[in-house]
Structure 1
Amino acid sequence: MQIVRTILWVLLLVAFVGFTFGNMDKDAEVRIWFGYVWNTKIPAVVVLSFLLGMIPTWLLHRGTKWRLTRRIKTLENAVQATAVTAPIASDTAPATAPSAKVAEPSSPFDAEPNTAGSTPKL
């Protein structure tokens, strides 16, 4: 994924450099507010517009990443805390006497005698 991102950035940079050399002789007049006018080259307007659009989105991305990283670390710490406090089954537990195995009936009809003539309970 890193290579795709690098290729896209390089292509964007090449396109911008080509745009800059093609439009360096053209001036742009940008009216800011209350009669202020900024005379500049077109590539400067493009870079400023790009940054004005990218910086808030980048800040939102970084804030979301920071919040999710904190959340993941909190959950990992909670899992570690429960793993430490949970009892661990040991192979060296004292042996207990084997319990007597109770014979199970082979069918539900053998479990209870049917003396009342009703259907057997399952």
Structure 2
Amino acid sequence: MKFVRTLTWIVITAVLVSFIAMNWVKVPVNFWPLDDGNYIHFQWPVGFVALFFFALGVIPVWLYFRAMRWRLNRRIASLENTLRASSMPAETAPAALAAEPTVETGTTTTASNPAPDA
């Protein structure tokens, strides 16, 4: 699957680079109207203008989806933690009652960790 994704990015990059290379002619871009009926304009290459406005359209959508993904990942983690906390078994006896003193050494043992036989 990574191969398909990499190949797709390579094709998109090749198309964009060829578009920019073929359209590197500078054109006037009207930026802001003035009082006398003229415009403030810049001489920009067509490829740069296309990339700029493509990014202007893509970046807000990309940021929205990243924020949505972050929010949903936080929500999933919270639900997993809640489920993990509610599914833990309750202890039937406190740890102090589960320990039994031994007669020989005076150490304590538990049911899960018996003292070694000597």
Q: TM-score range by the shorter chain?
A: 0.5 to 0.7
Report the Cα offset of residue 17 of structure 1. 1.2
* Percent identity of equivalent pairs: 34
Shift of the 4–86 alpha-carbon distance from structure 1 to 2, 3 Å rule, reads farther
1:72-100 CA deviation, whole Å, 9 max, x = no partner? Answer: 00100011110115579xxxxxxxxxxxx
1:81 maps onto 2:81 in alignment: no
TM-score if structure 2 supplies the norm length? 0.66
Greater relative CO (CA pairs within 8 A, separation 6+): 2
1:66 maps onto 2:66 in alignment: no
**SS where residue 65 of structure 1 aligns?**
helix
Give the structure with the larger strand fraction: 2
**SS where residue 32 of structure 2 aligns?**
coil
Report the Cα offset of residue 22 of structure 1. 1.4
**SS where residue 29 of structure 1 aligns?**
strand
**Match for 2:21: what amino acid?**
F
Runs ≥4 in structure 1, deviation > 3 angstroms?
A: 85-88
- The CA distance in 2 between the partners of 1:66 and 1:13, in whole Å, is 27
TM-score if structure 1 supplies the norm length? 0.64
1:51 pairs with 30, 50, 55, which one?
55
**Match for 1:61: what amino acid?**
F
Partner of 1:32: 31
**SS where residue 39 of structure 1 aligns?**
strand
Structure 2: unaligned runs, 5 residues or longer:
34-38, 93-118
Structure 1: unaligned runs, 5 residues or longer:
89-122
Larger radius of gyration: 1
Matched pairs, number:
87
Shift of the 29–72 alpha-carbon distance from structure 1 to 2, 3 Å rule, reads same
